[in-house]
Copies of this chain bind each other. A is one copy, B any other.
Amino acid sequence: MAGKVFFSVSMSLDGFVAPESVPLDDIFAPENQDDPRVRHWMAQWGELQQWIFPLRFFRENLKLGEGGDEGRDNDIARETFERTGASVMGKRMFELGERSWPEDPPFHTPVFVVTHTKRDPWERLGGTTFHFLDDGIEHALDQARQAAGDRDVRIAGGGTTILEYVNAGLVDEFSVTVAPVLFGTGTRLFDGVDASRVALEPLRADPTARVTHLTYAVRPR
């Protein structure tokens, strides 16, 4: 049986999945760490993802050491990882990660990068291999489905890539982890969604002390 196509992202209560965009070179330049735009980006990103960092699964998966919080947030993070047989991501998310993931990145599966630049596969430690595909989002998804086998394909991000898959009718279900923060500006997850075509069916809602995980099936309308 083929797996599902899903995404799972953290979203601010006002609908943002990333802070206002800052050029990657600026984010990673040590001399820019006091730049207000970079500090703002880092602070917002941190607030959005804050629920993840203390989790036992997060620490284990990135080999940061023993310990960490258990409970529902941790179970959800682990389940999201375990169901994923392959991931698809956009170019900017890859480029951000390329500079920040460790040698043994957190995927441990094939990852298909939707890009316009040809590049040989990039094999990392721990089972993560990045494949670069320049033949559109459907082709990238087909490759990911094959690689995932019975498991699910995760559209890992960023927001623009996720929305392309949603609007193409290629997403079966998704989870949005609503974080208790307002961004005001940034990348909105659903900005440009084709609302006339997408209906949502609530599947689950998991409130925890930090966040609320909302899971929906996507239906045509």
Contacts and interface: CB of A to CB of B under 8 A. Distances in A.
Interface of A: 13-15, 176, 178, 180-185, 188-196, 198-202, 204-207, 209-212, 214, 216
Contact of A176 (B13, B184, B209): B13
A194 to B, nearest CB: 7
A155 to B, nearest CB: 17
A129 to B, nearest CB: 34
6 contacts: A13-B214, A178-B214, A180-B200, A181-B199, A184-B194, A202-B210
A112 to B, nearest CB: 26
Contacts of A15: 14-15, 188, 190
Which of A188, A190, A205, A206 counts the most B-chain CB atoms under 10 A from its CB? A205
A13 B184 contact: no
Contacts of A198: 182
B195 A182 contact: yes
Q: Chain A contact residues: over half helix, strand or loop, or mixed?
A: loop
B184 A193 contact: yes
Given A15-B15, A178-B178, 12 more contacts: A13-B200, A13-B214, A14-B193, A182-B193, A182-B195, A182-B198, A183-B195, A184-B190, A185-B195, A202-B211, A205-B212, A206-B207
Given A202-B180, A216-B180, A188 B14 contact: yes
A180 B201 contact: yes
A212 B214 contact: yes
A184 B15 CA distance: 12
A45 to B, nearest CB: 14
- By Cβ-Cβ distance, the 7 closest A-B pairs, closest first, are A205-B207, A184-B195, A14-B190, A15-B15, A180-B200, A205-B212, A180-B202
Nearest to A211: B202
Contact of A200 (B181, B195, B214, B216): B181
